[in-house]
């Protein structure tokens, strides 16, 4: 394996869309805050409640009081960030980014930020166009590229194209989301091929594919969003509604929900589970909340209620109980019945 060089923040010349604020006369942008892009692709929230937003022109953070747009010593970058994930070993001190020009990680030290860039030209990653990132409990990284899944364990690279008997779907369809379970299973959702499920230690094992007609409760093989919880439970957002799967067996325990059940729109781009067990769905026409604790009733929200836009690309539940929504026109949050727009 080729060795990678850590770059100190002052010497940094390229980060994939990341605007890094540093101590060489680069300061966070003063208020009033201006988002580098209104289009929000992903939201992750760390254990301290700091919100991280992947935008079409970099990464923005918000700690509840202050917004920070990061930049390097040559000014803002413009690369879109498709996905974000925290490192399982170091937690919030290292964040991984996916973009259309490669992957990167940046690690916060006491006095500086170290950056590591991964591209096809200098690593074992299969392609520079990366649409999704996942990190499992053993700190193995999974990168969804345009030609398949790249796997990074320690210093070793591997790849997986999907189960051969099911057409190697990870090499043929866009990988839209990657989730991992504590029992070791990895789920890679695609836009057109369904979901690839497998385990990885030093090789692939237990591989199967959840797609139609085998997974007969899945409304579509075009999957835009996914969450996995309690090891064997998954929610999938598709172009034809949402599906819940609560079994380790492919054919069993599926439920499907569409507009006829209360979902505001059948095109579902984002899913999040809040601290009360309720499920939130970001769709093309607003947000729907499935109240799991009160007999699976639905509540939906649009711009008439407080959303900044009805096209919701990302949803995240905060540690304080608030819910955050990333749209194509900015950010909205809902806390104690009050909406705030950014």
Tens of pLDDT, residues 256-271: 999 999 999 999 999 9
Residue 54 within a domain: yes
Give residue 113's domain range.
Answer: 1-118
Within a domain: residue 5? yes
The answer to whether 246 and 232 are in contact (CB under 8 A) is yes
In a domain, 335, yes or no: no
Q: In sequence order, which residues have a C-beta less than 8 Å from that of residue 220 and are 6 or more positions away?
A: 212, 238, 239, 240, 241
- Quick: pLDDT tens for 75-122: 445 689 999 999 877 777 889 999 999 998 888 766 666 778 899 999
Residue 271 lies in a domain: no
The pTM of this model reads 0.88
- Is the pLDDT reported for residue 180 higher than 70? yes
Residue 198 CA, chain-centre distance (Å), reads 19
Domain total for the chain? 1
pLDDT (0 to 100) of residue 112:
63
DSSP state of 88: T
Cβ distance 284 to 311 under 8 Å? yes
From residue 149, how far is each of 132, 142, 196, 198 by CA, in Å? 9, 7, 10, 12
Examine residue 60 and state whether it is found in any structural domain, yes or no.
Answer: yes
Let me know if residue 217 belongs to a domain. no
Q: Rounded to the nearest 5 degrees, what angle is found at the Cα of 245, between the Cα atoms of 259 and 201? A: 135
Integer CA distances (angstroms), 305 to 115, 262, 338, in order = 41, 17, 10
Rounded (5°) CA angle 91-96-206: 85
């Amino acid at each position: 394996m080729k060795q990678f060089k850590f770059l100190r923040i002052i010497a940094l010349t390229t980060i994939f869309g990341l605007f890094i604020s540093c101590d060489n006369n680069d300061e966070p942008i003063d208020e009033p805050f201006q988002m580098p892009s209104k289009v929000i692709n992903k939201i992750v929230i760390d254990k301290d409640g700091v919100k991280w937003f992947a935008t079409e022109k970099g990464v923005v953070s918000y700690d509840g009081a202050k917004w920070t747009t990061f930049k390097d010593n040559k000014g803002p970058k413009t690369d879109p960030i498709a996905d974000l994930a925290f490192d399982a070993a170091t937690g919030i001190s290292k964040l991984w980014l996916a973009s259309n020009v490669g992957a990167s990680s940046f690690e916060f030290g006491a006095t500086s930020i170290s950056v590591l860039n991964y591209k096809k030209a200098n690593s074992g990653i299969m392609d520079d166009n990366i649409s999704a990132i996942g990190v499992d409990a053993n700190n193995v990284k999974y990168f969804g590229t345009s030609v398949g899944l790249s796997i990074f364990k320690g210093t070793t690279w591997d790849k997986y194209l999907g189960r051969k008997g099911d057409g190697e779907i990870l090499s043929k369809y866009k990988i839209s989301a990657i989730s991992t379970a504590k029992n070791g299973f990895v789920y890679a959702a695609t836009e057109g091929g369904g979901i690839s499920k497998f385990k990885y230690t030093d090789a692939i094992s237990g591989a199967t594919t959840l797609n139609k007609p085998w997974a007969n409760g899945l409304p579509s093989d075009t999957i835009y969003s996914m969450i996995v919880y309690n090891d064997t439970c998954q929610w999938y957002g598709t172009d034809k509604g949402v599906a819940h799967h609560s079994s380790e067996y492919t054919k069993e325990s599926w439920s499907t929900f569409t507009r006829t059940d209360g979902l505001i729109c059948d095109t579902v781009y984002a899913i999040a589970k809040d601290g009360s067990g309720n499920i939130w769905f970001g769709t093309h026409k607003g947000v729907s909340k499935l109240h799991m604790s009160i007999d699976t009733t639905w509540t939906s929200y649009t711009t008439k209620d407080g959303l900044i836009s009805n096209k919701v690309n990302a949803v995240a539940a905060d540690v304080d109980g608030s819910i955050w929504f990333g749209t194509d026109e900015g950010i909205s949050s809902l806390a104690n019945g009050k909406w705030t727009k950014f």
